[in-house]
Amino acid sequence: MEKPVVRTKYGAYVGVEEDEVFSFKGVPYAKGPVGELRWKPPQPLGMSEETFSAEDYGPAPVQPLYFEKEYVSRQPQSEDCLSLNIWTRHPERSEAEEWGCPKENSYKRPVIVFVHGGACLYGGSCDTLYDGQLFVKRNDVVMVTVNYRLNAYGCMDLEEIGGPEYGFSKNLCLLDQIQAFRWVKENISLFGGDPNNVTAVGESAGGACVSLLMIMQEAKGLFGKAIVQSGSYSLLKREQTKTFTKEAAMTFVKMTGADTMDELLALSREEIDKTFDIFLEEYAPFADGICMPVLDGKTLPKDPYKALEDGAAEGIRMLIGSNSEEFNFWKLITPEFDQAIDEFFIPLHNVAKEDWEADVPIYEIYIENDHAGNILARKYQLANDLVFRDGSIAMAELQAKYGDTYMYSFEWQPVTGLGAYHGAELGFVFGTQDVVEELSGQMPEELIHSVQDAWASFAATGDPGHSGIPKWPKYNNKKRATMIIDQEWQVREDIRKEDRVLLRPLIKI
């Protein structure tokens, strides 16, 4: 069978057909950020008439293997990693004369652009967890997954040593994503997608990034809907921009032995990676938050909650939520995590707030309000609320004034006993249950279909409701309707109100 070819002004891409779905992998959306472009904003591609293979994934972003049990990408890695992957259904001949040359009246599908998580430290769209094949086979959408620069290459504040030219270095991860959305806006119609019906989806750090793209001027008009999975503004370094981030970056630079930006640029990838591994050991208690986006006064000039409150994301429809036992994931992979939780040492929250000690009295009241008698379990719930649930609720409160907003709580309990751990919903969204089988066990197929249908419905219409689940009301600050995603879906209002009210002042809008 003839392989599909899509022709863009940046070149022609040869894809693969599998089970009625066409994929194009490793498609570059920017110039390789290497050489003099290392630590610089992404640069648009030049025009080309060449033909490129898009049958295999491009390399994963460079990342440490420090967290061996985390979602670290095991795929080949490279600094030249700015690529994306596309899954689509073949247009009918009546819709397109040939690939890459759609007729004016051809049908265009809703587009989902997924931004992976991994604390902006690790991960990659080439990982099998994020394979879009099964989602697109079931739902008539175009799925795009994106690579972006991570850790020392995409999230390091080098302005002090490099000057204003490197003022954006701390948030290159966001600028890469924006460039990817620009590429999608310009080219996705050639793959059967509707450039005017794009939904940004992100999980964990990817969700936090999508949350920021919602309020960034540079991303205006690139997408009209957002699905934020366990990734609110609570994951960001809101108060540490001028202290923790800069100090950490200068510590890293000192460790490299470089005295100038030219010397830093001259370092090999191997030298940077070796130094970054040592750097992570130095900052181990804070590692999961050390490379998250920061308020730099440029890319992000205003506190994100305040920006959302002021209508910066007006018109964007949002589906947002978290999982009921997020921190069970770290309990599984991190030695002595029970002790860390028991000491109120909540790593991500600790990075996000300089004055976290001042909040301890509120933590103590929260713990004392436990009605089940399991103090350690209550402390895990506190961590879950502080880092994931509470920030999502605050975002829903603020955005509901400016765009249709829906909230969910993922609560499916796997037979492994882990509960709805961090990332547990991903296997349902992508249908890649074999990838997470060790953590989730057998996943009910009906629930996979229901989750996928909800995400696809939202991408198509801005409403996640479908015939297989109860009516999903919009979120508002009066009823606070939340869809419980489990084998039996149900809507509940203002879940755990007492905890929400107690912790709300910690958001500090």
Residue numbers annotated as active site: 204, 326, 422
CA torsion, ordered 317, 323, 327, 333, to nearest 10 deg: -100
Alpha carbon 177 to chain centroid, angstroms: 10
CA torsion, ordered 350, 351, 357, 363, to nearest 10 deg: -40
Residues 154, 175: Cα–Cα separation, whole Å = 9
- What are the backbone angles phi and psi of residue 460, rounded to the nearest 5°? -80, -40
Instruction: Determine how β-strand 109-115 pairs with β-strand 405-410.
Output: unpaired
Tokens encoding 269: 């990838």
Tokens encoding 322: 């978290």
Rg of the chain on CA atoms, in Å:
22
Give the closest residue to 322 by CA, choosing from 428, 231, 248, 450.
231
Tokens encoding 75: 């795929």
Residues 221, 178: Cα–Cα separation, whole Å = 11
User: Please, which residues have CB within 8 angstroms of residue 467's CB and are 6 or more apart in sequence?
Assistant: none
Instruction: Determine how β-strand 193-203 pairs with β-strand 317-323.
Output: unpaired
Q: Where are the beta strands (DSSP E) in 33-174?
A: 51-53, 60-61, 77-78, 83-89, 109-115, 142-146
What residues does 51 pair with on adjacent strands?
12
Instruction: Classify the phi-psi angles of 104: left when phi > 0, otherwise alpha if psi is within -120 to 50, otherwise beta.
Output: alpha
Residues 495, 365: Cα–Cα separation, whole Å = 19
- What are the backbone angles phi and psi of residue 195, rounded to the nearest 5°? -65, -15
Tokens encoding 413: 């309990």
Q: Which long-range contacts (CB under 8 A, 24 or more apart) does 488-496 make?
A: 489/450, 495/409
For the chain, the helix, strand and coil percentages under 3-state DSSP, each to the nearest 5: 40, 15, 45
